[in-house]
Chains A and B, each alone.
Chain A
Amino acid sequence: MANELRFLVVDDFSTMRRIVRNLLKECGYSEADEAEDGVAALNKLRNSNFDFVVSDINMPNMNGFQLLAEIKKDEKLKHLPVLMVTAEARKEDIVMAAQQGAAGYIVKPFTKATLEDKVTLILTKMGLK
């Protein structure tokens, strides 16, 4: 079942999008698309079906917090788990992300094991794994 899940990776750096997609693939999640900022992500989320969002925070046009808020106030999208993967290491940012409904928070730089653990934990909590 896990292999059929569709991920959306949101980050303004193409290198990081590629790294996260490759890591997800190594973890068995080969269905992944990508977006370069919150605006592009929201367009894709509203026009296609996804099961999981992995998002950076510091992005142009629409940052990760704004994207998270848009997802959580959209009836059709609010069920989606959003895992923040970011260099923002301020405690207030982490608390804010949790309060806004983020499913998890990873600080960069991170390891493959951390990403795999968080994704598995979130999917398990949601009964998807």
Chain B
Amino acid sequence: MNTTPIISPAGATTISTPDVHRMIGALTRQLHDSLNGLGLTEKVNAWADEIPDAKSRLSYIARLTGEAAEKVLNRVDLAKAQDDYIAAETRRIGALIVKDPVAAVAKGHVMNFLSDVERSTKEIDGHLTEIMMAQDFHDLTGQVIAKVVNLAAAIEEELVRLLVLTAPAHLPAEATPAATADKAAPHGPSLSGPVVNPEGNPDVVKGQSEVDDLLASLGF
């Protein structure tokens, strides 16, 4: 076994590797006993289940914000193209009117231009509506973020409790469980929020058509 001595940062104490292993073993045992003593084992198991779920939720946030950004940029591109078209047409028709106002009207250039403007503005309005709708990610991701924050707060709270109860008596307890308790469950009664992984889950609907079908089957 390697018995290389370890020198502490202060350089005052020398600890051998077997000693370090023994200390880590003792700490692990103390942590294990403390978790059992405080009844936290079940909570730790629950956290182990929830952390992958938190990872899916964070992936969901990344996907939703990415899709929203993509949608906005695509719609801005389309709206700018329409805007450029109107600007170019305005210059062209302006030049025709200056050159020969009667011909510009008689040949239908002005009326065609007005029709184009009306069509383009309607299309731009549609793009603006889609850009506005894309902002709904704020609501959906906000709810998911709240759930992940609640999980982190719950873990933090229990770890602080563990730390306070197992800390040497002479150390001041700067953080207490009460300091973090108020962070949990800001949204009151438990609701599931946005469905992050709807596939293969028969208990949730996957879109508005399924909502309508369900309500219709109930006679609503």
Q: Which residues of A contact B (CB under 8 A)?
A: 11, 13, 15-16, 19, 22-23, 26, 57-63, 66, 87-95, 98, 105-112, 114
Contact = CB atoms under 8 A, between A and B. Distances in A.
Contacts of B215: 94, 98, 105
Nearest to A14: B138
A108 B194 contact: yes
Contacts of A63: 187-189, 191
Contacts of A112: 129, 133
Given A88-B191, A90-B204, A108 B198 contact: no
A60 B218 contact: no
A13 B139 contact: yes
Contacts, number: 94
Interface string B199-220: 0000111111001001100101
Interface of B: 129, 132-133, 135-140, 142-143, 186-189, 191-195, 198, 203-208, 211, 214-215, 218, 220
A16 B139 contact: yes
A114 B208 CA distance: 8
Contacts of B192: 88-90, 93
Contacts of B220: 98
A58 B191 contact: yes
Best-surrounded residue of A11, A66, A112 (most CB of chain B within 10 A): A112
Q: What 7 A-B pairs have minimum CB-CB distances, sorted nearest first?
A: A87-B194, A13-B139, A15-B138, A16-B139, A89-B204, A58-B191, A89-B195
